[in-house]
Amino acid sequence: MSWLEVKDVDLFYGKVQALRGLSFGVEQGEIVALLGNNGAGKSTTLNMVSGIFRPATGSVNWDGHDITKIKAHKLVEMGIAQVPEGRRIFSTMTVEENLKLGGYTVRDKATITRRIERVFHLMPRLGERRSQEGGTLSGGEQQMLAIGRALITSPKLLLLDEPSMGLAPLLVAQVMEIIHHINEAGTTVLIVEQNAKAALKIAHRAYVIDNGTVTLSGPAAELAQDQRVIEAYLGM
Amino acid sequence: MTQVILNGLFVGSFYALIALGYSMVYGIIKLLNFAHGDIFMFGAYIGMTCLVAIPGIGSLGIGALAVILLVSIVLTGTTGVLIEALAYRPLRTAPRLSVLITAVGMSFFLEYGVRQIWGPDPQPWPSNGRLSDFLSTTDATGAKQQLSVPIFDGALTYSQLVILAFAVVLMAALALYIGKTREGRAMRAIALDQRAASLMGVNVNATISRVFFIGSAMAGVAGVMHGAYYSSITFLMGFLLGLKAFTAAVIGGIGNLYGAMLGGLTLGLLESIGTTLLGGEWKDVFAFVFLILFLTVKPTGILGERVVERM
Ligand SMILES: Nc1ncnc2c1ncn2[C@@H]1O[C@H](COP(=O)(O)OP(=O)(O)OP(=O)(O)O)[C@@H](O)[C@H]1O
Ligand SMILES: [Mg+2]
């Protein structure tokens, strides 16, 4: 069994089925990319792993626990953090308050302060704007903040939902660089991306999801050469 | 004129205390909790009952008020938590109107539940818990004389001063709690984005319960102070005061804590000045004229637009 193992999952929104027999795994230390078209079920998958949505059938196991029914806030405490689609920054709170909320489950204040400083070190633009309201940051800065906020718990598993969305190419490279760095430092990463090219560059392995189920999988370097992936996602 | 302003501020502090609970709940789950005024009433009944039922409470002097405040805080807070868990939580994803109607039903339940237990008649506040009695002297003829402090060309009695000071301290403590602590931040986070808050590890249900406890307990405190000051309580007293507190919340900008405080004091002042100019029979008309005025002209309240999403 993989470190994170999603197995035969069906998930419904009311009558709409979003995931159909979805199965995949992530090993500790990896960067794994989930690729797929709009509406394929990528965000649903991340939110299921995060405990926001519960599958109707199938199971999610992680780090030796069956986490299928564990609530979202518990999973954060256990070590799963998510950078959600659309960033979801707390708009009227300052950068610093957003980061403190990221550390909500960390009881020790000194630890939170230290980790916030570490985020400022990793992303100096945020440090310069620590008292600015989150809603007034640029899109790129908000993305940095969303990532920084997810790091304050020092998660074992980091889920990222389209971190490159709406960013200029230079910034996409920067964000991917940061993710690569976070992974080097010991955090396992599961990343959803529309920008398949950027994601495949840093990922070890990738899955292609279509209509709620895995249609292709393999090492990132191989998928980047795969004719089907190139046509569908790399736009060449 | 000074006296008119002082009276307005005094009454306004009651509105503000109750408006806070209205506003906190609206801020966090976008529900107009019409049962909130009745929690205020319930708090007063709990205080009254304790004064009658706890043996030896009369020997505590003014300490009796501290005891009944404490009991009232615990019981009204718990009632608020139960109401949310039993009546509102199951409807969290239901259309807003369903929850609103449930809140109105909850209001009736509390009013007529209390009427069932304590009866329909106004209840006198027991003499061992009347604030003015503790804060007065007996003059040469044996008549009680309220102590008071002159302020410019007006005066506040000690009782009014105590209540006003208590309200100010409570509001300041709440502002600090919401603004500076981890739990307060979690409340503001839920008000802004519930999903994002749970992704930060915030236990949304527990935090909403906490909001209901604090808001209801503040109303309970106001209820006890109301009874101790006005010396008579009725099972319908929460209806009018609840509506006025709601008005105060709207005037200040509903969902905003400073707005609730500002709105409460503003409404108290407007009422006091208005009745001086036009006569006491107009007292209750003002609140609702201002409610309608604000809802049509500036529905976001004094503290502006963006604060509506704030707590
Ligand atoms: N809250 C919801 N209620 C009903 N249907 C939903 C809900 N959220 C998602 N869906 C549906 O589930 C399917 C999968 O959605 P999901 O958001 O997981 O897609 P995605 O792969 O993340 O797409 P995108 O790349 O556009 O973000 C879609 O058909 C979507 O319409
Ligand atoms: Mg998505």
- CA of B76 from ligand 2 middle (Å) equals 43
Domain count, chain B: 1
In the predicted structure, residue B305 carries a pLDDT above the cut 70: no
Q: Label each residue of A145-166 as H, E or C.
A: HHHHHHHCCCCCEEEEECCCCC
DSSP string, A62-102: ETTEE-TT--HHHHHHHTEEEE-TT----TTSBHHHHHHHH
B222 located within any domain:
yes
| CA–CA distances in Å: residue A226 to residues A40, A89, A215, A231, B177 | 19, 36, 13, 9, 56
Q: Which residues line ligand 1 (CB under 6 A)?
A: A 13, 16, 18, 36, 38-44, 85
- pLDDT more than 90, % of chain A: 90
| Residue from A54, A90, A96 whose CB has the most chain B CBs within 10 Å, to mutate | A90
pLDDT higher than 80, residue B83: yes
Mean pLDDT of B231-252: 94
Q: What is the pLDDT of residues B93-121, one digit of tens each?
A: 899 899 999 999 999 999 999 999 999 99
Residue B276 inside a domain? The answer is: no
Indicate the burial class of A169 (C-beta count within 10 angstroms; 0-12, 13-18, 19 or more): exposed
- pLDDT over 70 at B17, yes or no: yes
Query: Nearest chain A Cα to B183, which residue?
Result: A104
- The atom number, within ligand 1, closest to the CA of A46 reads 18
Confidence of residue B262 (pLDDT cuts 50, 70, 90): very high
Residue of B199, B303, B309 to mutate, testing the A interface (most A Cβ within 10 Å of its Cβ): B199
Nearest to B199 among A72, A91, A100 (CB): A72
**Partner A contacted by B257 (CB < 8 A):** no
Judged on CB neighbours under 10 Å (0-12, 13-18, 19+), B93 is: exposed
Residue B1 neighbours by CB distance under 10 Å? 10
Is B142 within the bounds of a domain? no
Percent of chain B with pLDDT over 90: 74
Atom of ligand 1 nearest to the CA of A209: 21
Cβ–Cβ under 8 Å, residues B208 and B84:
yes
Q: Do B182 and A100 touch (CB under 8 A)?
A: yes
- Minimum Cα–Cα distance from A73: chain B residue: B201
**Contact at 8 Å (CB) between B130 and B231?**
yes
Edge-to-edge order in the sheet of strand A57-62: A16-26, A4-13, A57-62, A65-66
Q: How confident is the model at residue B308 (pLDDT cuts 50, 70, 90)?
A: very low
The residue range of the domain holding B49 is: 13-132+151-247
> So what's the pLDDT on residue B309?
45
Residue B190 within a domain: yes
ipTM rounded to 2 decimals: 0.95
Q: At A34, which helix (H) or strand (E)? A: strand A31-36
Q: Is the residue at B199 inside a domain?
A: yes
Question: Each residue of A106-155: pLDDT tens digit?
Answer: 999 999 999 999 999 999 999 999 999 999 999 999 999 999 999 999 99
CATH topology of domain A1-77+178-236: Rossmann fold (3.40.50)
Residue of A nearest to B200 (CA): A102
- pLDDT value of residue A235: 65
pLDDT of residue B132: 85
Please determine, for residue A223, whether its predicted confidence score (pLDDT) is greater than 60.
yes
What is the DSSP pairing of strand A57-62 with strand A65-66? antiparallel
Assess A113–B contact: CB distance below 8 Å, yes or no. no
Cα–Cα distances (Å) from B142 to B145, B184, B287, in that order, read 9, 51, 40
Provide the pLDDT confidence category of residue B300 given band limits of 50, 70 and 90.
confident
Q: How far is the CA of A8 from the centre of ligand 2 (A)?
A: 20
Residue B19 in domain: yes
Nearest CA to CA, how far is B265 from chain A (Å)?
26
C-alpha distances out from residue A231 to A203, B138, B218, B227, B238, Å = 19, 95, 63, 76, 68
pLDDT digits (tens, 9 = 90+) for B133-168: 888 887 778 777 888 888 888 889 999 999 999 999
Distance CA(B168)–CA(B95), nearest Å, equals 36
CA A46–ligand 1 middle distance (angstroms):
11
User: Which residues of B are less than 8 Å from A88 in CB distance?
Assistant: 193, 195-196, 199
Q: Are strands B123-124 and B232-233 parallel, antiparallel or unpaired?
A: antiparallel
Written as one string, the DSSP assignment of chain B is -HHHHHHHHHHHHHHHHHHHHHHHHHHHH----TTHHHHHHHHHHHHHHHHHHSTTGGGGTTHHHHHHHHHHHHHHHHHHHHHIIIIIGGGTTS-HHHHHHHHHHHHHHHHHHHHHHH-SSPEEPPGGG-HHHHTEEE-TTS-EEE-EEEETTEEEEHHHHHHHHHHHHHHHHHHHHHHHSHHHHHHHHHHH-HHHHHHTT--HHHHHHHHHHHHHHHHHHHHHHHHHHH-EE-TTHHHHHHHHHHHHHHHH-TT-HHHHHHHHHHHHHHHHHHHHHH-GGGHHHHHHHHHHHHHHH-TT-TT-SGGGG--
pLDDT tens-digit readout, B24-49? 999 999 899 999 999 999 999 999 99
The pair of structure tokens assigned to B73 is 């805080």
Considering only CB atoms, which chain A residues are within 8 Å of B195?
52, 84, 88
**B217 occurs within a structural domain:** yes
Q: Is residue B287 over pLDDT 90?
A: no
In order of A87, A100, B28, the CA distances from A134 in angstroms are: 11, 13, 19
Distances (CA, A) of A25 to A40, A206, B97: 18, 10, 44
- A44 interfacial to chain B (CB closer than 8 Å): no
Domain boundaries, chain A: 1-77+178-236, 80-154
Note whether residue B114 is domain-resident: yes
Whether A4 has a pLDDT exceeding 50, the answer reads yes
* Residue A184 Cα, gap to closest chain B Cα (Å): 23
A142: Cβ contacts below 8 Å, ≥ 6 apart: A87, A89, A134
Q: Which ligand is nearest to the CA of A47?
A: 1
Ligand 1, atom nearest to A40 Cα = 21
- Parallel, antiparallel or unpaired: strands A213-219 and A205-210: antiparallel
Predicted local confidence at residue B134, as pLDDT: 86
pLDDT of residue B266: 94
Least confidently predicted of B20-24, B169-173, B245-249, B278-282: B278-282
